[in-house]
Structure formats: C-alpha cells, structure tokens
Amino acid sequence: AQSVTQLGSHVSVSEGALVLLRCNYSSSVPPYLFWYVQYPNQGLQLLLKYTTGATLVKGINGFEAEFKKSETSFHLTKPSAHMSDAAEYFCAVSDRRDSSYKLIFGSGTRLLVRP
C-alpha cells in the first residue's frame, strides 16, 4: 500500500528565507505526486504536481519540487518566504495504476513565517 511521510509537523522560517518542506513516499511503482496548500477554514489548492517527464516541477506562488526516485522524495522548496505563505501544506500521492486517481495524503506541515 502506498503511504506518504511529511517530516516536521511545523516548520518556522523568517521572511525572505528558504522554505524546505519534506515529503517521502512509499510505493512499489513511482506514483503521481502532488503538493497542496490549505489556508485556515478553506479547502485545498493545488500548488504543483509530478506525473511524468521533467523531475523538477514548478508551481504557483514561486514554489517548486523535485522528484527523486532514488530517494523516494518530493520535497517542496521556495527560495524566499513571504508572510502570505503561512499555511498548511500537504503532500499527496496517487497510484498511477489506479484509474480512480484517489489521493493519499501525508499528515501535513504547518509553515510559520516570522517577520
């Protein structure tokens, strides 16, 4: 069965600093990979996804993530944090053999941005 591990339930950075949110997956076949962001009392918004092709994926709001098969990782980065980036971030996988495309989520990482 597939699973997702997000290391660090809380990450705190200063405004302008590098953001690094970690995600590792467990799957016998490389899955589809996603990062979603959730603001308080709102639904989830897709930041970026990897399905095939280039392993460095660029998303919205200056975020990017790199798929590393050898490390079974899909870490999310942003060069310079902004106050508006404070939110909860979820890594998710979908089994490419499963036609339902249902998502399996990690437990989330709350990003705090200090002024």
What distance in Å separates the CA atoms of residue 76 and residue 69, rounded to the nearest whole number? Answer: 15
Question: Taking the complex as a whole, how short is the minimal distance between the CB of residue 38 and another protein, in angstroms?
Answer: 9
Q: If binding means CB under 8 A, how many residues of this protein chain bind another protein?
A: 24
Among 22, 24, 49, 66, binds another protein (CB under 8 A): 49
Q: What are phi and psi of 30, to 5 degrees?
A: -50, 125
Question: Per CB under 8 A, which region of 13-21, 22-30, 56-64, 105-113 contacts another protein?
Answer: 105-113
Contact yes or no for 83/16 (Cβ under 8 A)? no
106 contributes a contact to another protein by CB under 8 A: yes
40 contributes a contact to another protein by CB under 8 A: no
46 contributes a contact to another protein by CB under 8 A: yes
| Residues pairing with 56 in the sheet | 66
Give how far the C-alpha of residue 59 lies from the chain's centroid of Cα atoms, to the nearest Å: 10
Q: Beta-carbon neighbour count of residue 88 at 10 Å?
A: 18
Contacts of 10 (CB under 8 A, 6+ apart): 109, 110, 112
Among 56, 69, 84, 101, binds another protein (CB under 8 A): 101
Parallel/antiparallel/unpaired status of strands 32-38 and 104-105: unpaired
Question: Taking the complex as a whole, how short is the minimal distance between the CB of residue 15 and another protein, in angstroms?
Answer: 25
- Interface contacts to another protein, rule CB under 8 A: 4, 9, 32, 36, 41-46, 49, 51, 90, 92, 94, 100-108
